[in-house]
Amino acid sequence: MKKTIAVLPGDGIGPEVVEEAVKVLKIIAKRFNHEFDFQYGLIGHQAIVKTGKPLPEETVNLIQNSSAILFGAIGDPIYDNNPNLKVRPEQGLLEMRKVLGLYANLRPVKVYSALIDQSPLKKKIIANTDFVVVRELIGGIYFGEKGSTENSAYDTCSYSVEEIIRVGRVAFELAVKRKNKVTLVDKANVLETSKLWRKTIQALHKDYPDVSLEMMYVDNAAMQIIRNPSQFDVILTENMFGDILTDEASVITGSIGMLPSASIGQKTALYEPIHGSYPQAVGKHIANPIGAILSAALLLDISFNLKKEAKLIEKAITNVLSKGFGTCDINSVDPVSTQELGKLIRDEIKNFS
């Protein structure tokens, strides 16, 4: 089986962690006789430096003609103190989501038993945490009409029934394969868009009678994720709420570097770790590659339907963690480097009988 994978390392630690994920995919390809063609492209700050655009036309052509996309991170410190710069790295990511119609972002949140003591939360609270956040990705306040004057500004949040239904189906279909529970997170006591979300999802629920549906206001959800995260199976929510809640949920795992994500929609799917570009770590070989490697596993599972191969990667990571290995974010006593951790995971894959 030959598949083309567009590789967009991006900025900051993106190239370092993506390199380890690509190496894992090459080991999988060799072991299972697959053929993956890795084609590299520019995005973000690196693309701006070389082409003047955060998403060059060459990259657009690449992603549109690939079987899947593996992406690293985006952003650079030079933009932090220059909010008025019109061309910015994050525009490349937003444009890519729009070009590909990536309307649903899946972010699994799972606690590994080997890392349970790394979490700032008590062991008894986070034990058995295993849920997925399904976040609507190309609507809402991030993509609504915006404007400002010297003394005021506005950002418009807008959703249609069609936008809600398509991401809602993703959540319900996912719940059917898991524990048959969807929690809709909204602010329906205040926001008109949330009222539409609630009405639309309740109607859609009739198509999935075996799945239980609960409603939860976003402020309560933020509290419940910390108080009792194991109560959740699939969390469904709009763009901004999902952005905030998934970063909060990443703390449960002990490190944001552990979490992968998949963005799916009308065309090619995109896979990326949820961490940012982390410029302070560039070149220090301390970045955690597990989020990127797990994103590669999601790529195999969702885009290529190679479930056995994806499970093997997950098992290899579990084994490596159980032996006490980890980068400094999850092992402060005796950490290994980004590259060493990647090699340990690849060695596990090689050694499985």
User: Is residue 187 among the annotated active site residues?
Assistant: yes
Check residue 303 and report its DSSP letter.
Answer: I
Catalytic one of 187, 208, 233, 301: 187
Query: What are the counts of helices (DSSP H) followed by strands (DSSP E) for the chain?
Result: 12, 12
Provide the Cα torsion 290, 291, 293, 298; round to 10°. 140
- Please, are residues 8 and 37 in contact by the beta-carbon 8 Å criterion? no
Q: What is the DSSP string of 236-264?
A: EE-HHHHHHHHHHHHGGGT-GGG-EEEEE
Tokens (6 digits) for 97: 């989501």
Catalytic one of 37, 123, 207, 219: 219
Using DSSP, state whether 316 is helix, strand or coil.
helix
User: Is residue 243 among the annotated active site residues?
Assistant: yes
Is the backbone of residue 278 left (phi > 0), alpha (psi -120 to 50) or beta? left
Which of 144, 148, 186 has its CA nearest to residue 164? 186
Catalytic one of 112, 247, 267, 343: 247
User: Is residue 142 among the annotated active site residues?
Assistant: yes
Q: How many whole angstroms separate alpha carbon 12 and alpha carbon 15?
A: 7
In this structure, what are the phi and psi dihedrals at residue 7, rounded to the nearest 5 degrees?
-110, 115
In this structure, what are the phi and psi dihedrals at residue 63, rounded to the nearest 5 degrees?
-70, -30
Helix spans in the chain (H): 14-32, 45-51, 57-64, 90-100, 123-126, 161-176, 192-204, 218-227, 239-250, 290-298, 307-322, 338-351
What residues have CB less than 8 Å from 82, skipping those under 6 apart?
none
Catalytic one of 40, 112, 142, 217: 142
Catalytic one of 186, 243, 301, 329: 243
Using DSSP, state whether 99 is helix, strand or coil.
helix
Please list the active-site residues.
142, 187, 219, 243, 247
